[in-house]
Structure 1
């Protein structure tokens, strides 16, 4: 399978690329500076481009069967604009135009899934996110809506506290108030969950929260 990875040079995206290649997939890494991957593999194609470049994004999708997006909003205070939400809309439009159906991406539990139950955590998270990172929350809302309204075969993994600890190989996944899901998860394990969704349809058209 050929998979296009957006956000390929980020903390999670690097692990996604590595794990896809280890699993024998062909990978297209799309980024502003994909050379940062510093990875050489005959099954890896690097595409340099901005998320706002519609034609370039389409080029990055050529021949691919699925997209894994490791994109996420900036958490810096004072950040304005919605480049990642706008870029996600560009990716979705390019997928619709090129016939690529499978989208796997990221969000946080501050964005609700309809299967969540009304718990204290579910109520507090979006309030805290709006107080601490209002622009990031707007980005996440825009990213998620672009995907869920797309008609694509999508899965969005909601993460809370990604860490650089050693992978555990264990995952808790499900919905707030329904399943026993924690907060922290290693970036390597997050990447493994995303890659696993290529062949697992359990969470198709769903946004599970995940943790170690």
Structure 2
């Protein structure tokens, strides 16, 4: 497949590029600073320097692709509308090209709370939600923009992200959230996103993923 990856220098983005290349896909990593790509990825993955404020450049990056994957989002507690704003630019570019397949990273608290979650997990979820309220509000607005778009989108919603190894052994709930899901490695988030590209049940859905 021909894939474009936004946010390719982030933790999840790097993993998407690495795994997609290993699987034999043609990957274009969209970056603002190529120096932030690790040497191994810079050598093996074509990359395009794209100012996300340049609509024509973003449109060129998504044109003719089989899927677009995005790891764009806040890198701290202060979101500043990053996910909504940057994903919005990708959406506008894709809609100008007639739509297409788009997969993005969101977060578990944006999805529905499992009805059977144990009380301690619900308490922890609410505490984290209070601390990261601004980040989750930004992601919720991003998801609202996805739902209103003409793209065949999927929002992948992991819980706490870790730097653990790729396992491929995680739970996936289309339209819901795994019970007692507390963490997921960035490598497995990337694995899930790539696996969901061709899953028709995930189109226009949020997908909860967790160990």
Aligned pairs for 1:21-100 within 5 A: 21-37=21-37, 38=39, 39=41, 40-41=43-44, 44-76=45-77, 79=78, 81-100=80-99
Tell me by how many angstroms 1:70 deviates: 1.1
Tell me by how many angstroms 1:84 deviates: 2.6
User: What is the aligned partner in structure 2 of residue 135 from structure 1?
Assistant: 134
Structure 1: runs of 5 or more not aligned: none
- Distance in 2 separating the partners of 1:162 and 1:130: 15
Q: Is the 8 A contact 2:107 2:157 kept in 1?
A: yes
Tell me by how many angstroms 1:62 deviates: 2.7
Distance 1:130 1:185, change over 3 A: closer
RMSD of the TM alignment (CA)? 2.3
Structure 2: runs of 5 or more not aligned: none
- Distance in 1 separating the partners of 2:148 and 2:191: 26
TM-score (norm 1): 0.85
| Number of residues of Structure 1 aligned to a counterpart in Structure 2 | 204
- Distance in 1 separating the partners of 2:163 and 2:124: 26
Q: Does 1:168 align with 2:170?
A: no
- Distance in 2 separating the partners of 1:47 and 1:57: 10
Once the two structures are superposed, what CA deviation does each residue of 1:33-65 show, in whole Å capped at 9, x if it has no partner?
Answer: 134222223xx3211123232122112113312
User: What is the aligned partner in structure 1 of residue 198 from structure 2?
Assistant: 199
The structure with the greater share of residues assigned to helix is: 2
Q: Is the 8 A contact 1:73 1:140 kept in 2?
A: no
**SS of residue paired to 2:110:** coil
Distance 1:66 1:153, change over 3 A: same
Q: Is the 8 A contact 2:10 2:71 kept in 1?
A: yes
Q: Is the 8 A contact 2:111 2:157 kept in 1?
A: no
